[in-house]
C-alpha cells in the first residue's frame, strides 16, 4: 500500500446557536445538569432550508480551497451521515453534482457516530491501493431533524455541523496513514436507534404519532459501552503498531459526552491535555465531530507536522473505530 496523507481539512457549522438556557425553556432541564452530565454549553442548529448536503458542500469547499485544488480533481466522495437529505439518491450524489466534482463517484456511509472513522479507513485504502488520487471524506449531520425536542434525555445532546478531509497520496517518509481497527457489535442495535422510517417500520400516521422517527437512546448502556470500547480499541490499535499512549500527540475522539472522553483518556493513561474536547460549543454532531475538532486543532496550533494523531469513536450499531495517522501538513 502506498503512503496516504490527510492533505486538507474544512469545516462548517450553521450560525444559529441553541444554548442550555434555551433548552431550559423547552424541556424540564437545567443548564447545570446539562453541563455537569455532558460538558455541553451550546450547539449549532441549521435553519429550516439547510439540509445535510448544504453543510457537507460548505465543508468540502473549504477543504478544497485550503489545498488549492478544484472539485474536478476529486475521484471519490464519501458522505458519512445518519441524516441524509433523502433515503435516496445518496447525499454523495447531491454533493457531487453541486460541487461540480465531474469525475467523482461516491456513496453515503452510515455507521452513526463512527461513520467518519470508517470513512477515513475506506478512503485510506482507496488512495493506498493506487486507484484514487483525491478522495473527499465528509462527515455531516443535521441531527436537529431527527431529535425530539420534547425528550430531555436526548434533545440536550445533539447539534448540527459538518467537516471534510481531503485524502491523497503522500511522499515516502512524509507521514500519513498508519493503521486502523474497526469493529461492529450488532447486539447493541436497540440501545440507540431511530425506530421508524425504514423498511422494518415504514412511516405511517401511527409511527409519527408515537414519535418513532426520532432518536431513541438507552443513555447509560451506551455510556458504559462507549467508555470501555473507545478506550480498548485505541489501546489495541496502538499496540498493533508498537506504540504507546504517550507517543500520541493528540487524540481527537468523537464528542458524545465530556465524561466519556475523559474516562476513556484515563483508561488509556493519556493526559487530558493531549485529548481534544470541544463538545462545549457543538454538542454531538455525530459524523461531524471529528473533522470539526480536527480543523479546530489546526487553527489553535495543537497539530504540527510529524505529530501522531489518534481518531476514535463509538456509535449506534454498536460501531467502534480507531485510526492512527502521522500528521503530514
Ligand atoms: O455518540 C454516541 C451516542 N451517545 C452517547 O454516547 C451518549 C451516552 N450517554 C450519555 O451521555 C449519558 O447517559 C446521558 C448524558 C444521556 C445521561 O446522563 P446520565 O448521567 O447517564 O443520566 P441518567 O440517564 O442516569 O439519568 C439520571 C437522571 C434521571 O432522573 P432520575 O431517574 O434519577 O430521577 C433522568 O431522568 O437525570 C434525569 N435526566 C435529566 N435531568 C435533567 C435525564 N436527562 C435530563 C436532562 N435534564 N436533560
d(CA 76, CA 92): 9
Mean pLDDT taken over the chain? 97
Percent helix, strand, coil in the chain (nearest 5)?
40, 25, 35
pLDDT tens digit sequence for 113-125: 999 999 999 999 9
Distance 33 CA to ligand 1 centre (A): 9
Q: Is 257 in the pocket of ligand 1 (CB under 6 A)?
A: yes
Distance 25 CA to ligand 1 centre (A): 18
Distance 16 CA to ligand 1 centre (A): 25
Pocket test for ligand 1, best of 21, 151, 153, 312 (most atoms within 8 A of CB): 153
Q: Is 33 in the pocket of ligand 1 (CB under 6 A)?
A: yes
Q: What is the pLDDT of residue 252?
A: 98
pLDDT tens digit sequence for 274-309: 999 999 999 999 999 999 999 999 999 999 999 999
Q: Which residues are catalytic?
A: 113, 254, 284
The average pLDDT across 209-220 equals: 97
The average pLDDT across 128-150 equals: 98
Please determine whether the domains at 4-169 and 177-326 fall in the same fold group of CATH. yes
The average pLDDT across 56-77 equals: 98
Q: Closest Cα to atom 30, ligand 1: which residue?
A: 153
Q: Is 288 exposed, middle or buried (0-12, 13-18, 19+ CB in 10 A)?
A: buried
Q: Following DSSP, what letter does each residue of 44-98 receive, concatenated?
A: E---TT--HHHHHHHHHHHHHHHHT--GGG--EEEEE-SS-SSSSS-HHHHHHHH
d(CA 308, CA 274): 11
Q: Closest Cα to atom 13, ligand 1: which residue?
A: 219
Domain limits of the chain? 4-169, 177-326
Q: What is the pLDDT of residue 316?
A: 97
In CATH, the number for domain 177-326 is 3.40.47.10
Residue pair 118/314 in contact by the 8 Å Cβ criterion: no
Give the whole-number percent of the chain exceeding pLDDT 90. 98
The confidence band for 261, taking pLDDT boundaries of 50, 70 and 90, is very high
Distance 26 CA to ligand 1 centre (A): 17
Q: What is the pLDDT of residue 248?
A: 98
Q: Is 153 in the pocket of ligand 1 (CB under 6 A)?
A: yes
pLDDT tens digit sequence for 140-183: 999 999 999 999 999 999 999 999 999 999 998 898 999 999 99
Q: Is 106 in the pocket of ligand 1 (CB under 6 A)?
A: no
The confidence band for 190, taking pLDDT boundaries of 50, 70 and 90, is very high
> What CATH architecture is 4-169?
3-Layer(aba) Sandwich (3.40)
**Exposure string for 139-156, b = 16+ CB within 10 A, e = fewer:** bbbbbbebbbeeebebbb
SS3 255: coil
Beta strand 177-184 with 319-326 is: antiparallel
The average pLDDT across 81-107 equals: 98
The average pLDDT across 69-91 equals: 98
- For 39, 80, 115, 175, 328, the CA distances from 184, given in Å and listed in that order, are 27, 16, 12, 28, 29
Distance 116 CA to ligand 1 centre (A): 25
Q: Is 117 in the pocket of ligand 1 (CB under 6 A)?
A: no
Q: Is 35 in the pocket of ligand 1 (CB under 6 A)?
A: no
Q: What is the pLDDT of residue 147?
A: 98
Amino acid at each position: 500500500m502506498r503512503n496516504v496523507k490527510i492533505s486538507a481539512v474544512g469545516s462548517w457549522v450553521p450560525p444559529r446557536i441553541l444554548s442550555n438556557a434555551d433548552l431550559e425553556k423547552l424541556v424540564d432541564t437545567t443548564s447545570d445538569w446539562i453541563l455537569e452530565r455532558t460538558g455541553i454549553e451550546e450547539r449549532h442548529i441549521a435553519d429550516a432550508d439547510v439540509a445535510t448536503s448544504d453543510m457537507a458542500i460548505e465543508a468540502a469547499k473549504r477543504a478544497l480551497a485550503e489545498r488549492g485544488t478544484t472539485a474536478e480533481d476529486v475521484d471519490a466522495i464519501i458522505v458519512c451521515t445518519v441524516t441524509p437529505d433523502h433515503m435516496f439518491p445518496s447525499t454523495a450524489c447531491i454533493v457531487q453534482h453541486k460541487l461540480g466534482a465531474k469525475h467523482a463517484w461516491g456513496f453515503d456511509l452510515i455507521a452513526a457516530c463512527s461513520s467518519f472513522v470508517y470513512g477515513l479507513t475506506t478512503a485510506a485504502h482507496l488512495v493506498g491501493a493506487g486507484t484514487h488520487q483525491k478522495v473527499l471524506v465528509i462527515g455531516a449531520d443535521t441531527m436537529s431533524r431527527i431529535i425530539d425536542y420534547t425528550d430531555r434525555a436526548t434533545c440536550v445532546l445533539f447539534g448540527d455541523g459538518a467537516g471534510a478531509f481531503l485524502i491523497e497520496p503522500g511522499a515516502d517518509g512524509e507521514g500519513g496513514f498508519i493503521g486502523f481497527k474497526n469493529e461492529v457489535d450488532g447486539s447493541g442495535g436497540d440501545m440507540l436507534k431511530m425506530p421508524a422510517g425504514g423498511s422494518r417500520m415504514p412511516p405511517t400516521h401511527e409511527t409519527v404519532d408515537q414519535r418513532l422517527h426520532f432518536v431513541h437512546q438507552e443513555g447509560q448502556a451506551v455510556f458504559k459501552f462507549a467508555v470501555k470500547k473507545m478506550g480498548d480499541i485505541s489501546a489495541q490499535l496502538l499496540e498493533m503498531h508498537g506504540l504507546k499512549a504517550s507517543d500520541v500527540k493528540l487524540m481527537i475522539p468523537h464528542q458524545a459526552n465530556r465524561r466519556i472522553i475523559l474516562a476513556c483518556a484515563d483508561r488509556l493513561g493519556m493526559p487530558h491535555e493531549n485529548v481534544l474536547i470541544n463538545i462545549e460549543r457543538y454538542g454531538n454532531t455525530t459524523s461531524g465531530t471529528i473533522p470539526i475538532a480536527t480543523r479546530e486543532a489546526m487553527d489553535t496550533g495543537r497539530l504540527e507536522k510529524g505529530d501522531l494523531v489518534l481518531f476514535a469513536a463509538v456509535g449506534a450499531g454498536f460501531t467502534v473505530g480507531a485510526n492512527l495517522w502521522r500528521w503530514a501538513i
